Amino acid sequence: MLSDSQLKEIFDPVFSDIRKRATVAEKFLDRDLYRVYVATLWSNVVLSPDEVGIEEEDIEPLHDILLDEIKDAIGPHDSMKELYQFISSKDGEKAMVEAKLTQTHKDLLNYFSSMILDPEGHKRWMDHIREQQKQPR
């Protein structure tokens, strides 16, 4: 398991890049675009921690570090749930369109939003999809 300082060292360049990409007119942060990028980062980290160079047990401490980063950039958030509530909103959809995300990218964020916002509903939905795939065509 990595220490908080090691996690910060690994992710500080990513946090800086996200801020840079979401900055408008050299010093104003587009909060909506920032949220889209952070949601993308978190979705990828949770779904494939090994691909970003961390272990599963590093996810929880990274969560707290990421909340601190979000607080510093755009204000307080108590959980990632608020971020995914935005992604699932009309404003979130608009931000994803403005960011020119591919449909696959939007699908990833919406998929992850369903896991965060309604885990039981997500499980039922995935079970239904699995059942549909098993049925002969």
Local structure of residue 25 (DSSP, 8 states): T
Q: Which of 65, 68, 47 is nearest to 56 (CA)?
A: 47
Local structure of residue 52 (DSSP, 8 states): G
- List of the chain residues with pLDDT < 70: 78, 121-122, 125-126, 128, 137
Q: For residue 24, what are the β-bridge partners?
A: 28
Give the global pTM.
0.83
pLDDT attached to residue 10: 93
Task: Yes or no: say if 113 and 87 are a contact pair by the CB < 8 Å rule.
Answer: yes
Structure tokens at 100: 């020119």
23: enclosing H helix or E strand = strand 23-24
Reduce the DSSP state of residue 99 to 3 states and report it: coil
Query: pLDDT tens digits for 75-110?
Result: 887 678 889 999 999 999 999 999 999 999 999 898
Please state, for a pLDDT cut of 70, what percent of the chain lies above it: 93
Structure tokens at 115: 């896991």
